[in-house]
Chain A
């Protein structure tokens, strides 16, 4: 089993698939007794909630989290990363073909500016389609978003790392003790933005994703004036409590923002033991 697992991992690294299975079934070689379970689907009663929702409870919170992922894919940068501050109002209704649409009124803060930053007010419609393997659709509006443009810090960061000899490589951000060095903070934020593409794509009413850790970041050769970064990220899904590992290739520049070019789900075979952090 171990040999198959290593072989599979090896092969999967070589062949980068663009869209991994949404249900996160384990690869063939890891199956059998060693099946990691997909996120638990909730029972139908849980999802009966329509009409007004309790803003602090999970149905509204999950939908708002999805909206946040979208916001970050569009506007996140090494020095800007949005987080949910509070859901003010939320409602949900059934829509065509077994889908569900959430309407949300919420506030966000910028993690990069710490407690100094103001909260932004946003509204969104998040539509979870009825079909299993489709990603949610998000329509999002936030006040003052147009006024937000790339910061001087982003430009300085870009200038520093676009230099040809730059070859950043780091692991475990944060480390086991929650430490992130000053230099690694913008890379952590970039990873979080890039991971938001995956989290957005993989989200459903039954998931609630966060990025648990950046397992590694390796700078690749710059291309078309874009910083190229290969990340391995660990995502945490709250309802299933699973840790899901993804490798991805992302580009960034102050002008073009973050783009994710390749993603690859990396199964953690059950008997993997990780080296100490």
Chain B
């Protein structure tokens, strides 16, 4: 590695590292075990010795800072095969040194990682990688980009804050004021990664199809669509940093070492019944009181203050089901017949695309008794078309659904969402 020795500076060091990287990437050279030493000579005799050292060509040394004067540090790149010899030499001559760079290859790897990361930050929603799972920051960036690119159609509302003070962001798709609304949420259970992944695709689908697809255009000309892509951001971050299988919120429970409340048992409908747990360590812990979780309270407040939501779709995974109220009681919902028929239609649409088989019915008969759930509450608030989705699959990968299924899942789910939204539009109440 030939370097311009006279012009050493920290900027040059950066350039040198990049050059090394260039060589490493294209020359497939490895710098494993190579080090950079900073030598402090204490007198002229030691400087003389170091100059002699620099003339030993066979060592392959590279002086980033030449030995000039004992008041100036001497920096030398030492390839692995020469390390032992150089150290012995320095020690024998009692020349002080310290290791500036422990392993040049590690440094290059870190740099490369940074560069790759930088390269893959999308600059627009057309750049965004829909076929991969993303972390919270990427998803929140996506939202901002979507709004920026479609400011006539999309805006972002913050409906509250999570326990750990993260914003609860909702995308509002609207073409006019004072419209009735359709609500969709995903990611309320944080380990269900396929749900926000599908929502991201759906958000892009909406802006793409508005003005092109007559059915969606008609829906949006009469209704607003609200999309909360990450309803439980604290839990979502936790699935990335600590526990991929985390489900609940991240609010501590006083008197217990167990954290979190099941946000889908925290609603004021059949609260505390047998279809939820009173144990803070349980995955279905209902929480100390109704709407105790800020993530839940934010939606409650939004629904009440909006007052004109006509459909409420809460999306979970897995099991491949489309479910309507109730979860807390076997008593049939007043609109059971219509809800059942609409579910049948939506599932049929869904299945038409990739032949994915869904089951449908009320929560309590189809999956299990569940008390204090979202859609029971929204239904009781008068939002007739309240449904819970359970997306792919049926247990093979479960929560760990491969990323290559994101788009097929999103596409088929979209057909079901459209069926429900279209029915909502055609049956105003």
Contacts and interface: CB of A to CB of B under 8 A. Distances in A.
Contact of B366 (A33, A41, A56, A178): A56
B400 A33 contact: no
Most buried by B among A234, A241, A270: A241
B283 A240 contact: yes
Interface stretch (A88-96, A150-158, A159-167, A169-177): A169-177
Contacts of B368: 42, 58, 238-239
Contact of A174 (B242, B285, B360, B400): B400
A242 B281 CA distance: 10
B156 interface: no
Majority-rule SS of A interface residues: loop
B122 interface: no
Contacts of A179: 402-403
Contacts of A210: 395-396, 398
A77 B306 CA distance: 55
A108 to B, nearest CB: 12
Contacts of B262: 241
A54 B361 contact: yes
A37 B400 contact: no
Contacts of B239: 176
B359 A56 contact: yes
A178 B274 contact: no
A35 interface: yes
Given A54-B365, A56-B366, A175-B400, A240 B282 contact: yes
Contacts of B282: 36-37, 240, 242
B240 interface: yes
A86 B357 contact: yes
A83 interface: yes
A130 to B, nearest CB: 20
Contacts of B399: 212, 236
B24 interface: no
Interface residues of B, number: 49
A276 B242 contact: yes
Given A174-B397, A174-B400, A210-B395, A40 B277 contact: yes
Given A57-B359, A175-B400, A234 B245 contact: yes
A174 B403 CA distance: 12
A78 to B, nearest CB: 16
B305 to A, nearest CB: 31
B175 interface: no
Interface in B111-136: 132-133
A174 B311 CA distance: 36
A212 B400 contact: yes
Given A37-B277, A42-B368, A58-B367, A240 B244 contact: no
Contacts of A178: 397, 400-403, 405
Nearest to B403: A177
Interface in B270-295: 274-275, 277, 279-285
Interface stretch (B12-20, B28-36, B252-260): B252-260
Interface string A16-50: 00000000000000000111110011110110000
Given A33-B258, A57-B361, A84 B400 contact: no
A241 B279 contact: no
Contact of A36 (B242, B281, B361, B403): B281
A45 B328 CA distance: 12
A243 interface: yes
Interface in B331-365: 357, 359-361, 364-365
B273 to A, nearest CB: 9
Contacts of B255: 33
B155 interface: no
Given A36-B281, A37-B279, A56 B397 contact: no
A244 to B, nearest CB: 11
A210 B258 CA distance: 24
A223 interface: no
B398 A212 contact: yes
28 contacts: A33-B255, A33-B256, A34-B256, A34-B257, A35-B281, A36-B281, A37-B279, A42-B368, A54-B365, A56-B359, A56-B366, A57-B359, A57-B366, A58-B368, A83-B395, A177-B402, A178-B405, A179-B403, A211-B395, A240-B283, A240-B284, A241-B284, A242-B283, A243-B245, A270-B258, A270-B259, A273-B242, A274-B245
Interface of B: 132-133, 239-245, 247, 255-259, 262, 274-275, 277, 279-285, 319, 330, 357, 359-361, 364-369, 394-403, 405
Given A40-B274, A213-B400, 17 more contacts: A37-B277, A43-B274, A46-B330, A56-B360, A57-B361, A58-B368, A84-B394, A174-B397, A178-B402, A178-B405, A238-B368, A239-B368, A241-B247, A241-B283, A243-B283, A270-B257, A274-B245
Which 5 residue pairs across A and B have the least CB separation, nearest first? A178-B402, A210-B395, A37-B282, A241-B283, A37-B279
